Structure 1
Amino acid sequence: MSQDQAAVFHALHRGETPLVLFNVWDAVSARVIAEQGAEALATSSWAMAHAMGLKDGEAMTIDAVLQQVGEIRQVSDLPLSVDLETGYSETPTGLAEIIARLIDQGVIGINLEDQKIGAATLRPCAEQARRIEIIRAAAERAGVDLFINARTDVWFFAGAALPEETRLPETTRRAAAYGEAGANGIFVPGVTAPAQLAEIAAATPLPVNAMVSDVAQEALPDRLRELAAAGVRRISTGPGSYRAMLADLAMRCGQFTPR
């Protein structure tokens, strides 16, 4: 079952149009998004942690993540990718065990960041590539072609110290190394300009994932077309769908709450 879903998830990155993922954070959000005709589901670590009163950055334990994954799987059998942040372990054995547990829950994809949690710095490229190799080997032992979406924070908080002119070459260098290590996609949060995304897409054979978290609903179709034209193959909302829900709740509550 998991391998069949993994094959479907891989194929969704090679379709005529980009794969669009409205990220989920619990069973209810997963059910709602699945009922709208979603082709696959993906979690947002930020939204999942925030919904539990925690901060992003692996403040949730891996056991809590797995519990949420199990609850999501109970309400939907769509292919499920999990935001694993930096992997929840610094040891090869620990990392491999976590991957095995996720696959045992039916997970067929992950996001893996190359920042160091709590340090706001990037891991050395070779170190991150080795972690991807460990994950790939663990997935192969489980018999699942896990989709590893390698997130690079070159353009995000951890890469803030990098000179602007070095970011594109550093992104393509890391994409090449991560792909060789076994990654299937490259996620570049912080890059929003279609021209920059087009440069990245042209420089790597990996499907490029862009995040759209703050576009007004009426402007979203045009934004998705722009990203598709730039060569983006996967578009995710990150915590955007969760934030939109909270904003709507606040607006509705504010209409009836005396100030």
Structure 2
Amino acid sequence: MTNLSQKATTLLELHKPGNPVVLPTVWDVWSANLAISAGFTALTVGSHPVSDSLGKPDNEGITFEELLTRVSQITSAVDAPLSVDIEAGYGQDPKRLIDGLISAGAVGLNIEDTVHSEGGRLREAQEHADFVGSLRAASDATDVHVVINARTDLFVKQIGDENGRVDRAIARLKLAAAAGADSLYPVGFHNDADYKRLATELPLPINAIANPADGDLAHFAELGVGRISFGPLFQASLSKHAEGILARWK
């Protein structure tokens, strides 16, 4: 457990606004080894790419046990801090989620506020914060400070009036921060002004999603971002490149 505790501390310390950690989003041992060989020192597992690799849909189309099996395979192959997208929690209680992740060798998680098992509804702001708080309490009961990346889907689901969406996201994520989150994920592609507002007004490092094929690390740094991941876009970029290679052989 001590090694996991050290990995969790390392992952947390990598989150630096203005000098963001890039966590390539991986889905299996092959992609994880690819990212480590490229020089990255920490990774995140994406729910969409993992589900796709298993031939199942995103949005909790796989079970938590299937996810843990894949996470265990990755952590057995690469010696790096690993965060895992657990979607809305797969209907599991926070203790089961934390214990399962730690047992599989992970030291971080994404938790979103879309409840897929309940028709895709969005958790109320305090409801989501309470879930984050329960995850933090479950983590605190171990000797691994699991790094919690609290995500809101207000932007990707385009909920409510667009003009006030940034304000509502900030209010929602501030509650998650107070409940024990370590970083905050207003997932979506934002303009520079909104990124700067989010980075400035939120009390914790923010996670930005980037397209690895055309994103600019220096620009995200200038905006004050503290963490970058790729969602399903790394897998999609590789797939597009592979299609071009294979097309020559038709």
Both proteins in one fold, TM over 0.5: yes
Q: How many percent of aligned residue pairs carry the same amino acid?
A: 31
Secondary structure, counterpart of 1:82 in structure 2: strand
Map of 2:35 onto structure 1: 33
**Bigger relative contact order, structure 1 or 2, given CA contacts below 8 A and separation 6+?**
2
Which of residues 236, 243, 246 is equivalent to 1:243? 236
Map of 1:225 onto structure 2: 218
Map of 1:135 onto structure 2: 135
- Structure 1 residue ranges without an equivalent (≥5): none
Distance 1:55 1:117 in 2: 12
- Structure 2 residue ranges without an equivalent (≥5): none
Map of 1:153 onto structure 2: 153
The offset of 1:15, in angstroms, is 7.2
TM-score using structure 1 length: 0.91
Distance 1:108 1:82 in 2: 8
Q: Rate the CA distance shift 1:164–1:16 in 2: closer, same or farther, 3 A.
A: closer
Given that residues 18 and 224 in structure 2 are in contact (C-alpha distance below 8 angstroms), is that contact kept between their aligned partners in structure 1?
A: no
* 1:107-159 deviation digits (Å, cap 9, x = unpaired): 110000011216343110111111111111111111111110001111112xx
Map of 2:123 onto structure 1: 123
Distance 1:16 1:231 in 2: 4
Question: Which is worse superposed, 70-79 or 186-195?
Answer: 186-195
Given that residues 17 and 221 in structure 2 are in contact (C-alpha distance below 8 angstroms), is that contact kept between their aligned partners in structure 1?
A: no
Given that residues 175 and 206 in structure 1 are in contact (C-alpha distance below 8 angstroms), is that contact kept between their aligned partners in structure 2?
A: no
* 1:151-198 deviation digits (Å, cap 9, x = unpaired): 1111112xx231012211111111110011100111111133222110
Q: What RMSD, in angstroms, separates the aligned Cα atoms of the two structures?
A: 1.4
Question: Which is worse superposed, 6-15 or 44-53?
Answer: 6-15
TM-score using structure 2 length: 0.95
Which of residues 51, 62, 65 is equivalent to 1:63? 65
Q: Say how many residue pairs are matched.
A: 247
